[in-house]
Structure 1
Amino acid sequence: MIFVGGTIPFIEYMLAIPAGIIAGVPTIPVIIFGFAGNLIGVILLIWLFDYVLAIRRKRKNQNKPDMDNYTPKSKRAQKAKKLWDKYGIPGLTFFGTGLLSSHATALMACSFGGNRAYISIWMVISLAIWSIITGVAVHFGMDVFFR
């Protein structure tokens, strides 16, 4: 159940890990399964986006999309673009995964023109860090709360 919850956008590790720990499942397996479920969903999304983009480029006979002059319309996308310009893929994946959603962050990184392998590596690192932080915080928070 935790694994499946981790794959669902906007539920992800942020709700799957706390729900598992509150339900009484041991913390380490919860963190591992929440991380793994989220990671599989995000990696599939990155590779699917890249595949669709490759088909689109092939149809338009373009070599590479022009993302240098891209201006996002929503405030959330503008903040993500600002993070992208300032910190690149590592900053966007770390801050975006912690503050927004890992699925939305992966889509933004892909749409800003990032390399799928590089995005995937940084998403693994970011998801691992945030899953551990969430699991440890909920574990010790529950321990303090129920003492």
Structure 2
Amino acid sequence: MSNTLYTLGGNMHEALVDFIQSLPVWLQWLGGMAVAAIPFVESHFGTLIGVIAGVPLPVAMLAAIAGNLVSMLAFVFAASTARRTVLARRAPADADATPEPSARRQRVKRMLDRFGVPGVSLLGPMVVPNQFTSSILVSLGANRTAVIVWTSISIVMWSAIFALFGQLGLTALS
């Protein structure tokens, strides 16, 4: 059963499962937190990896959510600090001479204008890790508190969805 699940995610997921399993049972939740802090793994895959490693679902889910939240907060506060620093250094005359934003930044800006912080936060993880999405939103000038609240909701929501799919998959395979 576990070999089938490993081939779906490749060697990285296998290595992450092995990492969690190598820890003492009482510390495996901490391994789940560390795994979920990795962009592209996040809470949704972190929950699945924890369950595959043998961590009980509620513990795996809570640990993955906590790890992803801590990681996202670090990205958001770093982006917020960088934005404040850049804006403070920019002279009023330089405001007209801002360079053309990248294509990715322009796309996120269009999504922000169209869907707002809630929409981008909830839908963004389907395309880009929430750590990146949330830090880009803050760097574009979105309200930091709103970004944190909506990204936190998104992290919990996606973790619950993947936990449900994971449980259904494990039930179907057994």
Question: Which bin holds the TM-score, normalised by the shorter protein?
Answer: 0.7 to 0.9
Between the two proteins, the alignment pairs up a number of residues equal to: 140
Q: Matched residues in 2 for 1:24 and 1:41: separation?
A: 23
Greater radius of gyration (CA)? 2
Name the residue aligned to 1:117: 145
- For residue 161 of structure 2, what is the aligned residue in structure 1? 133
Q: How does 1:45-56 map to 2 (within 5 A)?
A: 45-56=75-86
How far does the alpha carbon of each residue in 1:97-119 deviate from its partner, in whole angstroms, 9 at most, with x for none? Answer: 23321112112212321011110
Is 2:33 aligned against 1:6?
A: no
Question: Please, which of 136, 141, 152 is the counterpart of residue 108 of structure 1?
Answer: 136
The structure with higher relative contact order (CA 8 Å, sep 6+) is 1
Does 1:88 pair with 2:116?
Answer: yes
Could you state the TM-score of these two structures normalised by the residue count of structure 1?
Answer: 0.84
2:50 to 8, 12, 20: 20
Aligned-pair identity (%) = 25
Structure 1: segments with no counterpart, 5+ residues = none
Q: Offset at 1:61?
A: 4.5
Paired amino acid for 2:128? L
**Change over 3 Å in CA distance of 1:82–1:53 after alignment to 2:** closer
Structure 1: distance between partners of 2:85 and 2:109: 24
Partner of 1:60: 90
Classify the secondary structure of the residue corresponding to 2:84: helix
Q: Is the 8 A contact 1:89 1:114 kept in 2?
A: yes
- Equivalent residues in 2 for 1:23-38, closer than 5 Å: 23-38=53-68
Q: Which residue pairs with 1:41 in the alignment?
A: 71
Q: Does residue 170 of structure 2 align to residue 142 of structure 1?
A: yes
1:113 is paired with a residue of what secondary structure? coil
Give unpaired runs (5+ residues) of structure 2. 1-30
Contact 2:34 2:67 in 1 (8 A): yes
Contact 1:3 1:36 in 2 (8 A): yes
Question: Displacement of 1:96 after TM fit?
Answer: 0.4
